[in-house]
Amino acid sequence: MSTFVGFLVVVALLLTLGVLFSGLIVMARGGEANRKYGNKLMRWRIILQGVALAMLALAFMLGPG
């Protein structure tokens, strides 16, 4: 079970990283895309960070095994 949770932690971290880089690219380009997607990407990054932290806490609570 903890291996599965570890896998989910890695997936959540990779998704967070992908949204972070997407937001950085959109912000660097600026213009209409930044106005349209900047806040949405920031919200998704924060949500995914929360999910990753919750999964990490769950993995620690389950312990090794």
18-52, pLDDT tens digit by residue? Answer: 999 999 999 999 899 899 999 999 999 999 999 99
Q: Which among 60, 63, 48, 43 has a CA at the least distance from the CA of 15? A: 48
What integer pLDDT is reported at residue 60 of this predicted model?
Answer: 87
Residue type, position 14, single letter? L
What integer pLDDT is reported at residue 30 of this predicted model?
Answer: 87
Does the pLDDT of residue 65 top 80, yes or no?
Answer: no
Q: At what angle do helices 2-29 and 31-62 cross, to 10 degrees?
A: 160
Does the pLDDT of residue 4 top 90, yes or no?
Answer: no
What is the pTM for the complete model shown?
0.83
